Amino acid sequence: MSESPDEEIIEAALVAEGDHEELAAGVDSAPVRRGSPFAHEPRGLRRQVAGEAAASASFEAGLRTVTAGGGVLSAAILLPIGLAACGFFPGGAVAVAILGGVMSVFGLSSLYPRWALSGLGLHIAIFLLAEWRIWS
């Protein structure tokens, strides 16, 4: 076989059973790495996975809060509709007041709980007004 200048010659020698301690004494004994050979830092990977899980939970919590804010807005939109329905159709005003109350209760977990609580009180008042109009 002809050797090119870029190739290295690798020699292997047989070692007798008792000689391996003497040979190992000259070798630097670094700890054996476990896990993927492609991972740069195993602990960093754990932190990254934990960070992604926290970001996902944070996103879901934020999504729920924003959706509850939509409940506050829909309850506010239902207020004038319920008031108008009290004058023309009290039975419909009861349904609108119940729907607005449910939206307000849903909105209590939003960024605007005071607005949701105010809307809930107003929808209860519309409900009572509509019931009074029905029974009087």
- Greater model confidence, 97 or 17: 97
pLDDT band at 1 (very low <50, low <70, confident <90, very high): low
The answer to whether the beta carbons of residues 107 and 69 sit under 8 Å apart is yes
CA gap 136, 121 in Å, rounded:
22
- Greater model confidence, 11 or 3: 11
Using DSSP's 3-state secondary structure scheme, residue 113 falls into: helix
Q: pLDDT for 28-55, tens place per residue? A: 666 666 667 776 655 554 555 566 666 6
Using DSSP's 3-state secondary structure scheme, residue 77 falls into: helix
Q: pLDDT for 88-135, tens place per residue? A: 999 999 999 999 999 999 999 988 999 999 999 999 999 999 999 999
- Please, what's the b/e burial string for 23-49 (b: 16 or more CB within 10 A of its CB; e: otherwise)? eeeeeeeeeeeeeeeeeeeeeeeeeee
pTM exceeds cut of 0.85? no
Q: What is the pLDDT of residue 8?
A: 74
Q: What is the pLDDT of residue 25?
A: 62
